Amino acid sequence: MSSAAIENAYSPARVNVRGVSVEVGPPQARIATLDGLDVDIAPGQFVCVLGPSGCGKSTLLAAIAGHIAATHGTIAVDDETVDCPHPERGLVFQQHTLFPWKRVIDNVAFGLKMKGVGVNERRRQAAELLELVGLGGFDSHYPVQLSGGMQQRVEIARVLINRPRVLLMDEPFGALDAQTRRMMQTLLLDIWTKVRTTVVFVTHDIEEALFLADRILMLSKRPARVVADIAVPLARPRSDDSTLDPAFVDIKRRCLSLLRDAE
């Protein structure tokens, strides 16, 4: 698939979170996880969400995905209220959800199979996306034959085949070693440069957020609210040299301070 064809296949969406609070648990023991969040994310923006462990970062992602209903407030994608999951809001988890009995190409093609797309067409599109994530030639492998980083590339390709307008990522590289993690961060930015979908990326790693994001949303301890919305002015494309930029160091110091105050 040419770069132009890939770009034309995706249409990034705007995300608006208005006064969203979420409570979870049984009626007699409800726990507030989000408290009156207001967030606006522009189409094609890459936003990272930071905050103390257990503060509600994943809950926010699940609410945008439509897996958890807001107790109060609304979430809209291009002015359409989110009230259920949809393939246009693709979700990538820390641990892959690949089918171990399916070959890589059929794992990637699964979303199109659910839409009734014929086997030849869905495999053609799956093969193009495997090329995009650097796994051309691995079509016939099974997930168990791949490294952790390669499995996550397949997972990303499987989500991208639905042409999501919003890509939601819940610590997708958290289980990888440091070297593989940086390689995956660089690969993700390369993919995002081509498809320009809107990305909301949850992480607990400040350096990862700074390396990836246009903006960083800092959440408080649970129930989470936004305590800072930080623009990341680092030039793109990003590289290891970006981590030496004075702005990188300054924002990292600010994030560390905010995290200490939030705990």
pLDDT at 6: 60
- pLDDT higher than 80, residue 8: no
Render pLDDT for 215-224 as a digit per residue (tens, 0 to 9).
Answer: 999 999 999 9
**Residue, of 7 and 147, whose pLDDT is higher:** 147
Distance CA 81, CA 112 (A): 24
225 Cβ neighbours under 8 A, 6+ residues apart: 34, 35, 36, 37, 219
**Pick from 192, 186, 207, 254: nearest CA to 45:** 192
160 Cβ neighbours under 8 A, 6+ residues apart: 90, 129, 132, 167, 191, 195
Q: Give the number of other CB atoms < 10 A from CB of residue 81.
A: 12
Render pLDDT for 21-51 as a digit per residue (tens, 0 to 9).
Answer: 999 888 888 889 999 999 999 999 999 999 9
pLDDT at 196: 87
- pLDDT higher than 80, residue 238: yes
Distance CA 206, CA 50 (A): 7
Render pLDDT for 175-193 as a digit per residue (tens, 0 to 9).
Answer: 899 999 999 999 999 999 9
Distance CA 74, CA 17 (A): 6
pLDDT at 105: 97
pLDDT at 45: 97
pTM (two decimals): 0.93
Beta-strand ranges (E) seen in the chain are 15-24, 31-41, 46-50, 72-77, 80-81, 89-92, 166-170, 198-202, 215-219, 226-231
Render pLDDT for 114-130 as a digit per residue (tens, 0 to 9).
Answer: 899 999 999 999 999 99
The β-bridge partners of 49 are 202, 217
Distance CA 33, CA 73 (A): 14
- Torsion from C-alpha of 133, 138, 141, 142, nearest 10 degrees: 0
Distance CA 76, CA 79 (A): 5
The β-bridge partners of 72 are 21
Which pLDDT band holds residue 213 (cuts at 50, 70, 90)? very high
Average pLDDT over residues 161-173: 94
Distance CA 177, CA 222 (A): 29
DSSP H/E element including 160? helix 148-160
Sign of the torsion formed by the C-alpha atoms of 246, 169, 116 and 108: positive
Mean pLDDT over each residue of the chain, to the nearest integer: 92
| CATH code, residues 3-88+166-262 | 3.40.50.300
- Amino acid identity of residue 145, one-letter, is Q
Distance CA 92, CA 167 (A): 8
Which pLDDT band holds residue 54 (cuts at 50, 70, 90)? confident
Structural domain boundaries in the chain? 3-88+166-262, 98-162
Average pLDDT over residues 157-161: 94
